[in-house]
Amino acid sequence: MFERFTQGARTAVIGAQTEARELGHPVIGTEHVLLALVADEAGPVAATLRHHGVDRAGVRSAIIRHLGDQSTEASTVADRDAEDAAALKAIGIDLDAVRAAIEENFGAGALRLPHPAPKRRGLFGRFHAGTGHIPFSPRAKKVLELSLREAVHHKHDFIAREHILLGLLREGSGLGARILTERNVDVAALRAELTRSLNTRAA
């Protein structure tokens, strides 16, 4: 299936992981897929979404409204760690010296948490990024599976960004679809435009 993804579709799926990571979210949902599709400003799908009143800023703000921006929590933890180190230093404990002593006795990296067991490879494993894998939610996986069904339905031997958005519309229950509904998108008209775009490309 992955081999049938166009470069644009691969970029969108990898972009969904990037968007989830930037928001500090632990899983890639349908909302991150939508955000990645609309973020590719040069792409035809983003242009179609903009035509329907959907842009990156609006989608991102809707995601934050529903799920929050957890990236700030990570920086808060880092700030707290710095405060803890300063407090320990004030009472004569040098945290760096303690770490160095532990590593000297127990080996380099003794304080690091073990990595989780590797995830099974396959379609979703191939979208692994260098700074840590974020899993796809069941609904996001369903969207990608439905993108294949959309390609088969339209008799296309490739899966493009349009197929992914059609899959998201067909799944219909995830936050991505809900955001489109909240923005009063005419789903039937959007589906028709995406189909026309695909037919033009396949012709």
CATH superfamily, domain at 2-68+133-202: Clp, N-terminal domain (1.10.1780.10)
> From the CB of residue 115, how many other CB atoms can be counted at a distance below 10 Å?
7
Q: What are phi and psi of 42, to 5 degrees?
A: -85, -15
Contacts of 79 (CB under 8 A, 6+ apart): none
Phi and psi angles of residue 5, each rounded to the nearest 5 degrees, phi first = -70, 135
Using only C-alpha atoms, the chain has a radius of gyration, in whole angstroms, of: 21
pLDDT in tens for each of the 203 residues of the chain? 566 888 888 888 888 998 999 898 999 999 999 999 998 877 889 989 999 999 999 999 999 988 888 776 545 445 555 666 666 677 766 667 666 666 666 655 555 544 444 445 555 554 444 456 788 999 999 999 999 999 999 888 888 999 999 999 999 989 999 999 999 999 999 999 998 888 876 55
Return all residues near 186 (Cβ < 8 A) that are at least 6 apart: 52
| pTM, rounded to two decimals | 0.70
Per-domain residue ranges of the chain: 2-68+133-202, 71-106
